[in-house]
Amino acid sequence: MQVNEQLLTHLENLSYLKVSEDKRQEIINQLSQIVSFVDNLSQLDTNSIDETFTMTNQATYLREDEPMCDSDINTNIIKHAPRTENNFFIVPKIIE
């Protein structure tokens, strides 16, 4: 997969993030490296392996049903959102 300016713009749109001009080439290079690293995986023959295979045969951990919520965290998250209003995240108008 070729990571270029066009794909980066597409990713910016999808992620609702903005990459500044001086970082664009660096990000394109990094993304290209990640993609080629992941491409290594396609060399493995996985035909005989079940799709739910994991490195461990353990079952998923079960959590007790006890509420816990740190309001500092979600206040901080809201504070860093690109746009908010009255504690709502604001996103571009959703077209049905």
Task: Give the x/- contact pattern for other proteins in 21-60, rule: CB under 8 A.
Answer: ------------------------------xx-x-x-xxx
d(CA 49, CA 6): 36
Q: Among 2, 20, 73, 79, which residue sits at the site for other proteins (rule: CB under 8 A)?
A: 73
In terms of residues, how long is the chain? 96
Q: Is position 89 an interface residue for other proteins (rule: CB under 8 A)?
A: yes
**Which strand (E) or helix (H) includes residue 84?**
strand 84-85
Q: Among 1, 34, 38, 90, which residue sits at the site for other proteins (rule: CB under 8 A)?
A: 90
